[in-house]
Amino acid sequence: MKFKMERICCTNSMSAAPLERFRFDLEASTANLQAAGLKVEVQELFIVTDVDGLDVTIYPSGRFLFHPLNDKMKAKMISDKLYGLLVKEQI
């Protein structure tokens, strides 16, 4: 999957956003992330997981926020891993 990586201005955070438009099923994605051994905190509009000591917020749009992180290559590597575990919504 192709996505755009950005450093969030004036913070110690990175963002990854897919270039395609679609939505992820957060409930099904949570189950996949947990099956992969990741702890997941479910919120109403997003989920949060810990990957290598980083908080990763995952939105239904496929946008990720990484904190604390300023390394685009590490964010890209984690994004590739996580996008493979997320489940697209069925229309």
- The confidence score (pLDDT) of residue 91 equals 67
Query: Does domain 3-83 sit in CATH 3.20.20.150?
Result: no
pLDDT tens profile 41-61: 999 999 999 998 999 999 999
Question: In this predicted structure, what is the pLDDT of residue 40?
Answer: 97
Q: Give the residue extent of every domain in the chain.
A: 3-83
Provide the whole-model pTM: 0.90
Point out which residues pair with 6 in neighbouring strands.
15
The segments of the chain whose pLDDT lies below 50 read: none
